[in-house]
Structure 1
Amino acid sequence: MSKQEVLMSDQTTAPEVAEEDRLRADLYDYLGLVLSGPPDETLLKQTAALKGNETELGTAIAALSRIAGLSKPRTVESEFNALFIGLGRGELLPYASYYLTGFLNEKPLAGLRRDMAVRGMTRAQNVYEPEDNIASLMEMMAGLIRGRFGKPASLTDQKTFYNKHIGPWAGHFFTDLEAAKNSVLYASVGAVGRVFMVIEAEGFRMSAD
């Protein structure tokens, strides 16, 4: 990813994955990147160049592209700070523990850390956020799909990780992000994430164990 990468990996080259899975990983990686810090001018330009289609996800991506084309880095930085940092705390707390228990650093984080260790995932040394933040989890899913931490995870393992650590709360978070009073660009990020989580949940539901 970029300087905002939140996980360490011993992989120098990622194994080949199917095109459909690569596209899924690309979107997870994008969400992880844009939620880990305010996008710079380069990322805004890349976002503005995205093309949608007539699907619900494509429509959400097209809307995000349009808003990114009108956005300036300084304005988006102020938006990000209001949403996630604030004076004391931002408008939203993007952590699994908070969404699932109402408190930070609770059992969901401990369970995630155990599952990260089993899969060879390690938090980068310069990152101090709890691992159950939404940006890290998006990056983890991308890494599992791509095989950044070993072999690409099987669909069953992806499903297990998603259902335990992402599915129970990420859709609620993205809905909150879409509706947050400080969201402008991030309202469209929330819409993309919300629709993508529905697609992923349905795909895993239909897959055989």
Structure 2
Amino acid sequence: MNTINTAPVLQETDQLRADIYALLATLLRQAPQGNLLQWLSGLEPDQDEDTPMARAWSTLALAAKHSRPQQLDDEYQHLFIGVGRGELMPFACWYLTGSLMEKPLVLLREDLSLLGFERQPDVKEPEDHIAALCEVMSLLISNGQGYEIQHRFWQQHLQSWSNRFFTDLQNAESAVFYTAAGLLGAAFMQQEDNWFLQLSPAALGGGEQ
């Protein structure tokens, strides 16, 4: 997705949220390689913190340490591409309607147009791919869009199905490294749910959805 906005200075919490969405987008777009895999291997979460996110980071770091690039390529291929289709279908329409290219994609495209996002020419997947939606959330936060806009997009295009997808990813037969990625995604989506619930009605536009 492309936007032309100049990125503002973000609060630490919002920068972290944007970074996690960007990481999930990257992991779900392609298998991690090189510097990213090395960075994931070096993660050192606070051992005294016992939260779903802390456990997810620790699991992801351990999985990265025991993964090799070719193994990750094969795992990603089996999970998301396959012969004809992968083990999982990482699209909102599939989870919401049981098929692809349905009404949720039409509504998503309308919202993306209103927000000023354009699909990049080299991207073949529909815009309701989980990686694309995480990328949009990262950009909304990074570009300083208000919590009302962030919440509306998350609520309309991620909340209703992303946890089911990340649970399926954790339990997928082909998943090894991606079991940890699914754990991180599920923990983060729950954290986002709690985050939005804790915001004041004023921050969310007076409580109107």
TM tier, shorter chain? over 0.9
> In the alignment, which of 171, 180, 191 is matched to residue 172 of structure 2?
180
Measure how far apart 1:41 and its partner are. Answer: 2.0
Count of residue pairs brought into register by the alignment: 198
2:127 match: 131
In the TM superposition, what are the counterparts of 1:196-207 in structure 2 within 5 Å? Answer: 196-207=188-199
Match of 2:2 in 1: 8
Name the counterpart of 1:112: 108
Q: Equivalent residue for 1:17?
A: 10
Q: List per-residue Cα deviations over 1:151-188 (Å, max 9, x = no partner).
A: x1111111111000000000110000001010000000
User: Offset of 1:43 from its aligned partner?
Assistant: 1.2
SS of residue matched to 2:123? coil
| Counterpart position of 1:193 | 185
1:28-107 equivalences under 5 Å are 28-53=21-46, 54=49, 55-107=51-103
- Do 1:83 and 1:182's aligned partners in 2 also have CA atoms closer than 8 Å? yes
Tell me by how many angstroms 1:40 deviates.
1.1
Shift of the alpha carbon at 1:206?
A: 2.7
Q: Deviations over 1:26-54 (max 9, x none)?
A: 00000000100111122110111222232
* TM-score of the aligned structures, taking structure 2 as reference length: 0.92
Q: Which residue matches 2:204? A: none
Stretches of structure 1 lacking an aligned partner (at least 5 in a row): 1-6
SS of 1:122's equivalent in the other structure is coil
Identity %: 40
Unaligned runs of 5+ in 2: 202-206
- State the TM-score, normalizing by the size of structure 1: 0.92
1:8 aligned counterpart, secondary structure: coil
Give the aligned residue type for 1:81.
Q
CA distance, structure 2, for counterparts of residue 44 and residue 173 of structure 1: 23
Letter in 2 for 1:59: R
User: Which aligned segments of 4 or more residues in structure 1 are displaced greater than 4 angstroms?
Assistant: none
CA distance in 2, matches of 1:174, 1:100: 14
Q: 1:155 maps to what in 2?
A: 147
